[in-house]
Amino acid sequence: MNSHSNLSPARRSLLGVLALGAAMYAGSVQAQAGGQPPIPAGLGMKSWQDNGAEGRYLLQVIKGQLPKTVKPITGTVTSDTDCDADAQGLSHCHNTLKLADGTELTVIDTHNMHRNRCLGSGDQLALTGLGKPWIVGTLFKR
């Protein structure tokens, strides 16, 4: 015998709503855990799917520090790894950038490489800091 058969229809409905709410909450927590980092405000980029459009990349610095300067600085891409796409079709490429002063940064470039290309070795970028951990890299035309 079902343990819920003794419940009134109203209580069964309430129990169903609570179970549905719990399932939705669990799915939301899971999506946040596997989701993308929030895009900083003011960039005009609505989705990570757009990252890299027109040669402009939002990059998350995970190692190193951008020198403190008001003017953009030049960085050259020296590596591009870990480009497998996730369930949303986004790659989280790891790039090493060598700066003009010889220091290096390691960044994550979250983008859809079927829409906007990966950064490749030899690419040169004008880098502008947005505040930890974000920088914007704009490709120089070749």
Average pLDDT per block of 10 residues along the chain, 142 residues long: 57 46 34 66 91 96 87 95 93 96 95 94 95 93 62
The pLDDT of residue 117 is: 94
The pLDDT of residue 6 is: 66
The pLDDT of residue 68 is: 81
Provide φ and ψ at 8, rounded to 5°.
-70, 160
The DSSP secondary-structure symbol of 84 reads -
Residue located via tokens 């600085």: 73
The pLDDT of residue 7 is: 61
The pLDDT of residue 36 is: 82
Maximum Cα–Cα distance across the chain: 75
The pLDDT of residue 70 is: 80
Determine the Cα–Cα distance for residues 124 and 75; give it in Å rounded to an integer: 6
Instruction: Tell me the fold of 48-139.
Output: OB fold (Dihydrolipoamide Acetyltransferase, E2P) (2.40.50)
pTM for the predicted model, two decimal places: 0.73
The pLDDT of residue 137 is: 96
Residue located via tokens 């899971």: 30
Phi-psi region of 43 (alpha: psi -120 to 50; beta: other; left: phi over 0): alpha
Q: Is residue 71 classed exposed, middle or buried when 0-12, 13-18 and 19+ CB atoms within 10 A define those classes?
A: exposed
The pLDDT of residue 24 is: 36
